[in-house]
Amino acid sequence: MHKQMKSWSRAVVAALSLISAIPHILTAQTTTTGAINGTIKDPSGASVGSASIQVKNEGTDAEQMVTADGEGFFSVGQLQPGTYTVTITATGFTNYKATSVIVEVGKTTSLEPKLAINSSGTTIEVSGAAPLINTESPDFSTNLTLQTIDNLPINGRRWSDLTLLTPGVVADSNGFGLLSVRGISPLLNNVQIDGADDNQAYFSEERGRTREGYSTPMVAVQEFQVNTGVYSAEYGRATGGVINSVTKSGTNQLHGELYFYDRDNDWGAVSRWSTPIRKML
């Protein structure tokens, strides 16, 4: 009887631990969003509980409000990739404001806010950024941003070719744009756009199976993430790599892009040795 009570007590403790962790799980990043978290502390390093946190998207002005727990921890999830301003207020302390906090798809950006003792009309302002080292999850992933997509030359303007910039990814020898991750067959990859399946019916690559962009133009992609290993089960159906992308959704400013793409062999550089061959063909 004593052993049964002991086992029952352990089960209750485990269940309560799981329930207490659910809020953090629900506010984590997903395959199409990111998250911001952190633990708020005072100048001595002690936790500041019950502080109010406002997270504002600098492009759309969309806001989320949360309250830190008793240990000063907060987590804001389901955030569209972009740049955010985080404002923290707590009774007896100065306001804390972090601007240009970058949220990337499938990742959590961690902050370490420290609040000073209250001084009338004072606000601490810092400039945030995306973390250089991932300390939140065990996955091996690389995020390729809009700046990378726009600035690097891509043959055929197929954005997924930039996956080759990720360590452990090489082009398959067949020459049709297939990618091998960690030496695993290209058939075992998974391509997602905005959380939806974008795999070609047989070969696991972007729909179309050509060297050129097919289903989603390069200018429509906000950023994408290349998961090469130890990724969470939410991605699924892959033992190779997961290419997880999100498309642009617009901001409060009116903007657009006009471009023209033409690749003509007559404009390409040719040597004097190749000219006779071309004429023969």
pTM, 2 dp: 0.75
Name the CA dihedral angle for 148, 153, 159, 164, rounded to a multiple of 10 degrees: -80
Average pLDDT of span 10-18: 49
* Dist CA 144 CA 130 (whole Å): 12
* Dist CA 269 CA 274 (whole Å): 10
* Dist CA 221 CA 160 (whole Å): 10
Q: Are 116 and 124 in contact (CB under 8 A)?
A: yes
Average pLDDT of span 235-245: 83
Residue 47 phi/psi, 5-degree rounding, is -70, 145
- Domains of the chain and CATH, by start: 30-127 (2.60.40.1120), 140-247 (2.170.130.10)
Q: Which residues, 6 or more positions from 63, have their beta carbon under 8 angstroms from its beta carbon?
A: 54, 55, 56, 57
- Block residue for tokens 């006779």: 276
| 226 SS3 class | strand
- Print the SS3 string covering 143-179: EECHHHHHHCCCHHHCHHHHHHHCCCEEECCCCCCCE
Q: Are 78 and 30 in contact (CB under 8 A)?
A: yes
pLDDT number for residue 56: 96
| 8 SS3 class | helix
pLDDT number for residue 130: 58
pLDDT number for residue 20: 45
Hey, what are 126's tokens? 């810092």
CA 206 to chain centre: 19
Pick from 126-130, 178-182, 234-238 the range whose average pLDDT is largest: 178-182
Each residue's pLDDT tens digit, 48-85: 999 999 999 999 999 999 999 999 999 999 999 999 99
pLDDT band at 133 (very low <50, low <70, confident <90, very high): low
- Print the SS3 string covering 67-131: ECCCCCEEEEEEECCEEEEEEEECCCECEEEEEEEEECCCCEEEECCECCECCCCCEEEEECCCC
Residues 65-78: b if buried by 16+ CB within 10 A, e if exposed: ebebbeebebbbbe
pLDDT band at 102 (very low <50, low <70, confident <90, very high): very high
Hey, what are 42's tokens? 């005072």
Q: Are 166 and 240 in contact (CB under 8 A)?
A: no
* Dist CA 181 CA 157 (whole Å): 21
Each residue's pLDDT tens digit, 150-182: 888 877 778 888 888 898 898 877 766 688 888
* Dist CA 212 CA 157 (whole Å): 6
